[in-house]
Amino acid sequence: MNMAEKEALDRIRESLEEFPESRMAQYVTAEDLRTLLKLVEKCTKK
């Protein structure tokens, strides 16, 4: 996992902890979600 992937996951995790019932997490960016999708795709191709 590279640094961008780790940072995106950290922001997603932090937002989920702060806003567990919220549909919109305040600190998660569209770029974080794109990074997460790339990471998931990379892991599932193995």
Nearest Cα to Cα of residue 13 among 5, 42, 45: 5
The pLDDT of residue 46 is 62
pTM listed for this prediction: 0.62
Q: Where are the domains of the chain?
A: 3-44
The pLDDT of residue 30 is 83
Neighbours of 33 (CB within 10 A): 13
- List, for the chain, all residue ranges whose pLDDT scores fall below the cut of 70: 23-25, 46
The pLDDT of residue 24 is 65
Distance of CA 41 to the CA centre of its chain: 13
